[in-house]
Amino acid sequence: MTLHGVLIGLGIAVAIWLLVVAALFAFGRASAAKALVGLVPNLMLLFKDLLRDPRVPRGSKIWLGVGALWLASPIDLLPEFLPIIGPLDDAIVAAVILRHLVRKAGTDVVAEHWRGDPASLQRILRLFGAVAA
C-alpha cells in the first residue's frame, strides 16, 4: 500500500468519524456522541479509581496498572490521531481488563467507579461478554 492510499484511507476514516458524531448530534443523541469522544478519559479514571479500591484483588490491580499505562502511553500500535481505528488498540486492552475485573471484583464495583454514562459502560461490558448480571 502506498502512502497515497494510506492518506486516502485516513481521510475516509476521518470523514466517517465526523459524520457519525455529527449524525448522533443531529438525531438528538448528544449523549452517545459525547460517550464516543470521552471513552478513553473515562476508562483512565475508572482504572485509577479501581486501583485504589480494596475490593479489587491484587492480581487484578496489576492488570489495571498495565492497562492504565497502556492507555496513557503516547506509543500505541495504532496512533491515536487516526479516528475510529486510533483508539481501537486501547479499546481492546481496556475491554479485556474490564472483562477480567468484572469476573474478579464484580459488575457493581466496576459500575460504582464509572464516571461516564452508565448505559455506555453496559454496552461495553455486553459487547465483550463481561456483564455478570
- Report whether pLDDT(55) > 90: yes
Residue 13's pLDDT is 56
| pLDDT tier at 58, thresholds 50, 70, 90 | very high
Burial bucket for residue 62 (CB in 10 Å: 0-12, 13-18, 19+): exposed
CB 72 within 8 A of CB 43: no
pLDDT digits (tens, 9 = 90+) for 88-132: 677 778 788 888 888 899 889 999 999 888 888 887 778 766 654
C-alpha cell at 94: 481496556
Residue 3's pLDDT is 64
| pLDDT tier at 133, thresholds 50, 70, 90 | very low
- Cα separation, 108 vs 4, in Å, equals 48
Name the nearest CA neighbour of 116 among 60, 34, 8. 34
CB 64 within 8 A of CB 96: no
pLDDT digits (tens, 9 = 90+) for 9-30: 656 655 666 677 788 788 887 8
